Amino acid sequence: MQHFQHYIGGRFANGAAQFPSTDPATGEIWAMMPEAREADVNAAVDAAHSAFVSPEWADMTATGRGKLLQRLADLVAENAPKLAQLETRDTGKIIRETSAQIAYVADYYRYYAGLADKIEGAHLPIDKPDMEVWLRREPVGVVAAVVPWNSQLFLSAVKIGPALAAGCCVVLKVSEQAPAPMLEFARIFDQAGFPPGVLNIITGFGPTCGSVLTSHPKVDHVAFTGGPETARHIVRNSAENLASTSLELGGKSPFIVFEDADIESAVNAQVSGIFAASGQSCVAGSRLIISNKIKDAFLTRLKEKAEAVIIGDPNDMATEIGPLCTQAQIQTATDIIAASENAGASVITGGRPVAIRGNYFPPTIIDCSDTPDAPCLTQEFFGPVLSVVGFDTEADALRIANDTAYGLASGVFTRDLTRAHRMIRKIRAGIVWINTYRAVSPIAPFGGHGLSGHGREGGIQAALDYTKVKTVWLRTSDAPIPDPFIMR
């Protein structure tokens, strides 16, 4: 039985209590996690605030912050195999995916290391001849970062990296579901040489940890990744401290395939878009919007690939789909599928839990072409479930794609360049992939609108979101300022 600790003010500490973590592949308890409550949260925020105003961090040059982030990137790369094993053990994500993803996480820290001393202000060509006016970008302050269990090292990097590059200090609250990788990351961060309190890592439950953190009077910005309902609580909490927010939420992303698309390429992208990470991704291409001219041929090929997917031990490099993180996800998927079938949708393949120990659910395809009101078209599964709708015209495809309260990601497959540009302009989503899917980079902003949230992660925009603008006025005339009460 392994035991993990919080990281507060540069020290490792037990929480107010402990709770067990379960291996999704076996259903067995394998570790005990620290549970943060109000006193722990207060200690973490106080540590971050003290670090933020301390000369050791506040007076450090941007170049100095970049060097520390570069050191952190090197340490993440060195420790990637161990972090991948922990993430697989605690979340059930397959080892070949966690290994590849965590190795790439180091590049995010490298990107923000290089960006730290390139966050620039501006000189304003002001309309007053005896004035010089410029803008300074300064760190917003203490950041409360809240991340879910899926892809948590990546989702933390796109918050920690830009926040520290900008000069902020962070309290990271990781999900009570599978927090082990980030609690281990704390040990890696501790070796990088940052001043104590610059980053604090805790875990705990919403009412006793998350709510206390996001409403804390010393928190200046809240960066959250998760579901819309939790985001609503965070926005309400931020009314207490008037903290700014950036929200990266869920999605019900359209994956549009026109009749001229390369079918094999589109099928492979759809398999990756919905079945990779067992569908536990906010950008999962969970709505296939397919031209009726190729629908039957496409679904035949897709069904073949879905049924050939290897389900099994997430630690086996041959495994292509591992277990879902929680038993509750299986129940959610089962309920939504049953309701969709009752509404008239038909299951092409999958649809029922795999009869082996652990939280396994198979790749599932549901045809909803004749049931536009099927629940599976509007509700996010966070599992390997694809809903299918056919279309006849480009206008139909666009209407179906935009018929959602979400607006995170989208994919379009076509060889027609002019059609692609029309779709790019008219699809309401923060990301549009053309003839590809699920591509990410530290250089490219990531985010959405509607129920998918606001703000961007990745790219220079993310770093700017952790700054505030200060306007500086400098009078250049040596002449005395005129008496304001003498009219001339």
Quote the pLDDT of residue 381: 86
Asked, for residue 210, whether it belongs to a domain, the answer is yes
Quote the pLDDT of residue 488: 65
Q: Which domain holds residue 107?
A: 2-248+458-473
pLDDT digits (tens, 9 = 90+) for 106-144: 999 999 999 999 999 999 999 999 999 999 999 999 999
Mean pLDDT, the chain, whole residue set: 95
Asked, for residue 169, whether it belongs to a domain, the answer is yes
Q: Say if residues 476 and 126 touch (Cβ distance below 8 Å).
A: no
Mean pLDDT score, 449-476? 95
CATH number at residue 316: 3.40.309.10
Quote the pLDDT of residue 253: 96
Domain count, the chain: 2
pLDDT band at 408 (very low <50, low <70, confident <90, very high): very high
Which residue would you say has higher pLDDT here, 247 or 484?
A: 247
226 and 313 housed in the same domain: no
The one catalytic residue among 87, 248, 380, 457: 248
229 and 350 housed in the same domain: no
CATH number at residue 464: 3.40.605.10
Asked, for residue 43, whether it belongs to a domain, the answer is yes
pTM for the whole thing?
0.94
Asked, for residue 287, whether it belongs to a domain, the answer is yes
pLDDT band at 317 (very low <50, low <70, confident <90, very high): very high
Annotation says 457 is catalytic: no
pLDDT digits (tens, 9 = 90+) for 262-304: 999 999 999 999 999 888 999 999 999 999 999 999 999 999 9
Asked, for residue 373, whether it belongs to a domain, the answer is yes
Asked, for residue 336, whether it belongs to a domain, the answer is yes
Asked, for residue 322, whether it belongs to a domain, the answer is yes
115 and 221 housed in the same domain: yes
SS (H, E, C) the chain: CEECCEEECCEEECCCEEEEEECCCCCCEEEEEEECCHHHHHHHHHHHHHHHHCHHHHCCCHHHHHHHHHHHHHHHHHHHHHHHHHHHHHHCCCHHHHHHHHHHHHHHHHHHHHHHHHCCCEEECCCCCCEEEEEEEEECCEEEEEECCCCHHHHHHHHHHHHHHHCCEEEEEECCCCCHHHHHHHHHHHCCCCCCCCEEEEECCHHHHHHHHHCCCCCCEEEEECCHHHHHHHHHHHHHHCCEEEEECCCCCEEEECCCCCHHHHHHHHHHHHHHHHHCCCCCCCEEEEECCCHHHHHHHHHHHHHHCCECCCCCCCCCECCCCCHHHHHHHHHHHHHHHHCCCEEEECCCCCCCCCCCCCCEEEECCCCCCCHHHCCCCCCCEEEEEEECCHHHHHHHHCCCCCCCCCEEECCCHHHHHHHHHHCCCCCCEECCCCCCCCCCCECCCHHHEECCECHHHHHHCCEEEEEEEEECCCCCCCCCCCCC
111 and 25 housed in the same domain: yes
pLDDT digits (tens, 9 = 90+) for 167-214: 999 999 999 999 999 999 999 999 999 999 999 999 999 999 999 999
19 and 156 housed in the same domain: yes
Asked, for residue 128, whether it belongs to a domain, the answer is yes
401 and 465 housed in the same domain: no
12 and 94 housed in the same domain: yes
237 and 260 housed in the same domain: no
224 and 79 housed in the same domain: yes
pLDDT digits (tens, 9 = 90+) for 221-249: 999 999 999 999 999 999 989 999 999 99
207 and 265 housed in the same domain: no
In percent, how much of the chain has pLDDT > 90?
Answer: 90
163 and 85 housed in the same domain: yes
287 and 176 housed in the same domain: no
Quote the pLDDT of residue 333: 93
